[in-house]
Amino acid sequence: MIDDAAVAAVSSGEKFQAFLNIQAQFDRYSASNALLIAHQCPDATQLADFAAWKNTGVHIKKGVCAINLLEPGQEYTNQDGTVKTSYKVKKVFDVSQTTALQKHETLVSHDKKLLLNALVDHRPCEIEVSDDLPERVNVLYQPADSKIYVRQGTDAEPLFRGLAQEIAKVHLKQKKLTCCNPAFTAYSVAYVLCRKNQLSCETFRFDRMPAEFGGMDAKSARQELSTIRRVSNVMIGDMNRVLDTHDRKQPQRENANREER
């Protein structure tokens, strides 16, 4: 099923965007499981197995089909001596398949300045303001200089999108990750980060997929999608370290403000 889902995900912009949406929603899931979710339940928002739902007093609706994911099992040694990990099927259900009253998940919203600070806090290269960028280009990575240049006065959201995309390019280069179209991979990573952080995604377009994706086989498709997942997860992890620290300190700041009054 994963191979079919991978080929399907790169076959059209709509299906590719659905994969990115799932990867943003379930960023801790592997690319393979994100593919399986997107293939079986593209509108999923909250997943749990039968026992977990039951423990919260929620029941699975009659007639719904479980979403099959892959869960790592025991390690084993091949005849050639290599160590492999076995996988087993784990059946989960989305909240929409249960009797739970669906509520919009309460997401922690961060202001754009904080998101920008979190994005660049673990920057993989220098970032410098420049007045010498090409027309209509706000952010540009120059590998020869190992720097990202930013146009002075760029608004927060386009600045975040541009920085996310160019930082993704740096990670691709520094980690020597293989992908058929680095610019598109970085663009896709930027989309995942914007969606993950509740920023506008209206300017992103996936109706024209790269020519390299045409007729792509399952192995190549899975590699492309895994690269997107790997880079986006590195960047999300870097951001979360800053955001989590901020969120832990927020109640202390609020209490201090109340005491001052």
pLDDT tens digits, 91-125: 999 999 999 976 555 566 799 999 999 999 999 99
- State which residues form the domain around 126: 109-260
Residue 176 domain-assigned (yes or no)? yes
pLDDT higher than threshold 90 for residue 82: no
Residue 28 domain-assigned (yes or no)? no
Domain count within the chain: 1
Task: Report pLDDT for 31.
Answer: 93
Going 46 to 47 to 52 to 58, the CA torsion angle's sign is: positive
Residue 196 domain-assigned (yes or no)? yes
Residue 233 domain-assigned (yes or no)? yes
pLDDT band at 193 (very low <50, low <70, confident <90, very high): very high
Residue 41 domain-assigned (yes or no)? no
Backbone phi, psi, residue 219, to 5° = -60, -45
Task: Report pLDDT for 74.
Answer: 82
Residue 11 domain-assigned (yes or no)? no
Q: How far apart are CA 19 and CA 189, in angstroms?
A: 12
Does the global pTM surpass 0.85? yes
Residue 83 domain-assigned (yes or no)? no
Task: Report pLDDT for 81.
Answer: 80
Mean pLDDT of the residues in the chain: 92
Three-state DSSP at 67 gives strand
Give percent of the chain above pLDDT 70.
Answer: 93
Backbone phi, psi, residue 121, to 5° = -60, -40
pLDDT higher than threshold 90 for residue 257: no
